[in-house]
Chains A and B, each alone.
Chain A
């Protein structure tokens, strides 16, 4: 039976851990609210822009813009988005596993240019003998600026024909308790399974000109999609952290209950022993 003082000490320690996890849960919940609002605002813009780009590039010729040409099919770019901070359950692990699966199975035999956003996944990916071309940290401060710097090199590589496709692995935000690991193709712009549903594409009048529109729209679209992905991932991260911290708080409560029971038992045991000693001492007289 553990010493009374030891149990007492453990109870205090678990209690302070519980305070921390509880506080982290509250912080994550309030940050989640903000992140959720911004992803919900960003989505319509990003989706409209994506649809528009799909529409106007479907009938465009390949040489209309460098971002429309097809590059080297044996080399692909992958962007892995995870978080800078830990303590968010399986958030980073699932992303890293999905990315590794993509590299080893989906794109087996191809060369991969890996770009990692977020510090946590970087450490794990480094251990898996994959080469990382670029990595970015400082996720939640300036998502718009970050998405621009993430995209600039990737778009340049694609425009030069170095890579044939660009994918992004990230957590899509469904709700506070649900995040979906998603592999999304950013380039080429056409969806992977073009079912030809809207084949009767509109013949737009371009103002000032098609080149000018492509010039400003295509890169802007990539940045917008990246921005959206970063916001999705941030919201998912807070959701995952909130759930993880909630579970941790509850678990700490269970541990405290168990330890308190043990402590009371040990205390009663002590009292009983002492009583027996006193009584047997009295009898001996």
Chain B
């Protein structure tokens, strides 16, 4: 009998460590977005910038913008080792929007010596932060 809750631990090098008891987690994995329920098979996945949505036992959704990293899923435990993460509620929507527009403008009119990977990463991070503020899901 699997436990009915998952313990979610979020850590990043320069961020305080967050611990939540949740019922369901949606993780932006590199090979695709996946959902974890208690009793999931152990998975080790790399993450891409995106939104992590954790639904706690009361049914409230917590959104976190994740900027890449690793996710370790065990039977009743999920450990997210992110390079950076931010709770959606803490993100300044106006600034995130501005950053997204800046990144998009840069990709539309690239200067000759543009660092493409960096620009694309900046855009995906900006988009992750935007969707975390808007509390958008993946549907």
A residues whose Cβ falls under 8 Å from a Cβ of B: 38, 41-42, 44-46, 48-49, 52, 56, 144, 202-208, 212-213, 216-217, 224, 227
Contact between A208 and B46, CB atoms less than 8 A apart: yes
- B81 touching A52, Cβ below 8 Å: yes
CA distance in complex: A203, B72 (Å):
12
Q: Which residues of B contact A227 (CB under 8 A)?
A: 13
- Counting from the closest, the 9 A-B pairs by CB-CB distance are A207-B45, A45-B11, A44-B17, A202-B42, A204-B44, A208-B31, A207-B31, A205-B43, A44-B11
B1-37 vs A: 1/0 string, CB under 8 Å? 0000000010111111100000000000111000000
Give residues 108-134 of B contacting A (CB, 8 Å).
Answer: none
The answer for the CA separation of A265 and B46 in the assembled complex, in Å, is 77
Residue in chain A with minimal CB distance to B44: A204
The residue in chain B whose Cβ has the minimal distance to the Cβ of A205 is B43
A45 touches B12 (CB 8 A): yes
With A207-B29, A207-B30, A224-B13 as contacts: A52 and B41 at CB distance below 8 Å: no
B99 CB, nearest partner CB in chain A, Å? 21
* Contact indicator A48/B81 (Cβ below 8 Å): yes
Minimum distance in angstroms from A34 CB to a CB of chain B: 12
Name the residue among B13, B15, B17, B42 with the largest chain A CB count within 10 angstroms.
Answer: B13
Check: B135 CB closer than 8 A to any chain A CB. no
A45 touches B70 (CB 8 A): no
Q: What class of interface size applies to chain B in its complex with A?
A: 20 to 34
B70 near A217 with CB under 8 A, answer: yes
Interface of A is mostly: helix
- For the complex, give the distance between the alpha carbons of A241 and B13 in Å: 25
State whether B79 touches A144 (Cβ < 8 A): no
A41→B10 CA distance, assembly (Å): 11
* Other A-B pairs, 5, CB within 8 Å; known A45-B12, A204-B43, A208-B45: A48-B79, A52-B70, A52-B72, A202-B42, A216-B46
* Assembly CA distance A46 to B12 (angstroms): 9
Select the residue from B29, B44, B79 with max chain A CB neighbours within 10 A: B44
Please tell me if B102 contacts chain A, counting CB pairs below 8 Å: no
Contact residues in A for B17 (Cβ distance below 8 Å): 41, 44-45
